[in-house]
């Protein structure tokens, strides 16, 4: 449950409460309706110092304190399991997790109780004061709702958002609400493809579609009627040479979020990510056992900005050791 409070400003006395919630909190009609029909969903602090239910069509004088209660819904519940969770940022609406490579985000085949979602469910339950104190306990068997925003493949490391309410998740999934930056190590040993110049930015704008006959492989296509448009902005930062071959450290920014987008796009120009088991070639070095891709930073439009006026934050994730050893 998330409780939001705001003070009615002098320029808002002619607005009804529904209009204030739309303009100040960015709540849409459905969210306001959901709160309206929740017991204690929309209240104000009356003169007798008691919280009193109020109609969304009503108006309040300047200085009135207004409270909105957002109830958690129960769909998408995950079994809470105690486990490691590296938190980069937290406020009342979201968590940003530093996800390690090799850990799945959601439960699935072979991973039912060892995912980021399981560990986040435990953490959120514990924050509410409902988790069992026994460290060996597996938590509340009924599960906890965990809403991840965006996705990272199992072998991709870096910053990942978990929203604490459905309303926060809805705002964070709006186009442009979250801007991601990635770091990757890309092969530069091929001689029959155009070389990439450090510091010279370029854009890959190619549709991505499922590869025919494959269950988990994607490819680019020149046919605009096939697949989904995908846009990746790339900036090669530094070139490295080793006995295992040449490679580049690149920074990428995405306009779209297609499955395997960076991996497919880089492979399509002859610069597949190092150690990519699907789109690259085998990496013989000991440092990497997964595609060298890391979500470096997130610029996030906060779902419900506070009275301090901060509307946007940037959260960064340090380069993991397996990639750091190669740079």
Annotated active-site residue in 153, 187, 205, 308: 153
Could you tell me the CA-to-CA distances from 274 to 183, 236, 245, 283, 303 in Å, in that order? Answer: 12, 14, 10, 7, 36
Report d(CA 325, CA 285) in Å as an integer.
11
Could you tell me the CA-to-CA distances from 27 to 24, 170, 303, 304 in Å, in that order? Answer: 8, 10, 10, 9
Could you tell me the CA-to-CA distances from 145 to 5, 154, 251 in Å, in that order? Answer: 23, 20, 33
Of the candidates 272, 309, 311, the residue with the CA atom closest to the CA atom of residue 292: 272
Q: Is 11 a catalytic residue?
A: no
Number of H helices, E strands in the chain: 6, 18
DSSP state of 279: T
C-alpha torsion 128→134→136→141, nearest 10: -50
Report d(CA 150, CA 158) in Å as an integer.
12
CB under 8 Å, gap of 24 or more: what pairs does 280-284 form? 280/187, 281/187, 283/244, 284/244
* Burial group, residue 242, by CB count within 10 angstroms (0-12, 13-18, 19+): exposed
Which residues are tagged catalytic? 153
């Amino acid at each position: 449950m998330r409780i939001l409070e705001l003070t009615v400003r002098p320029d808002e006395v002619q607005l009804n409460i529904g209009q204030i919630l739309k303009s100040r909190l960015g709540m849409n009609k459905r969210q306001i309706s959901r709160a309206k029909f929740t017991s204690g969903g929309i209240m104000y602090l009356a003169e007798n110092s008691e919280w009193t239910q109020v109609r969304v069509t009503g108006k309040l004088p300047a200085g009135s304190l207004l409270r909105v209660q957002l109830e958690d819904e129960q769909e998408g519940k995950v079994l809470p399991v105690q486990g490691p969770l590296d938190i980069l940022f937290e406020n009342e609406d979201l968590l940003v997790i530093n996800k390690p490579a090799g850990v799945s985000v959601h439960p699935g085949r072979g991973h039912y109780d060892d995912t980021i979602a399981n560990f986040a469910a435990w953490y959120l339950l514990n924050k509410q004061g409902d988790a069992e104190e026994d460290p060996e306990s597996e938590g509340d068997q009924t599960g906890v709702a965990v809403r991840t925003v965006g996705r990272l493949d199992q072998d991709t490391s870096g910053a990942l958002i978990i929203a604490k309410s459905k309303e926060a998740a809805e705002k964070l999934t709006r186009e442009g609400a979250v801007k991601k930056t990635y770091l990757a190590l890309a092969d530069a040993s091929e001689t029959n493809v155009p070389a990439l110049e450090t510091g010279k930015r370029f854009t890959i704008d190619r549709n991505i579609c499922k590869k025919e006959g494959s269950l988990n492989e994607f490819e680019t296509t020149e046919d605009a009627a096939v697949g989904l448009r995908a846009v990746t902005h790339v900036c090669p930062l530094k070139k490295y040479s080793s006995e295992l071959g040449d490679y580049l450290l690149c920074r990428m920014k995405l306009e779209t979020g297609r499955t395997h987008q960076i991996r497919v796009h880089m492979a399509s120009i002859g610069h597949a990510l190092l150690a990519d088991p699907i789109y690259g070639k085998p990496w013989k070095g000991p440092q990497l056992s997964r595609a060298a891709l890391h979500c470096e930073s997130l610029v996030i439009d906060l779902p419900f900005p506070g009275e301090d006026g901060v509307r946007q934050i940037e959260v960064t994730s340090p380069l993991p050791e397996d990639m750091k050893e190669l740079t």
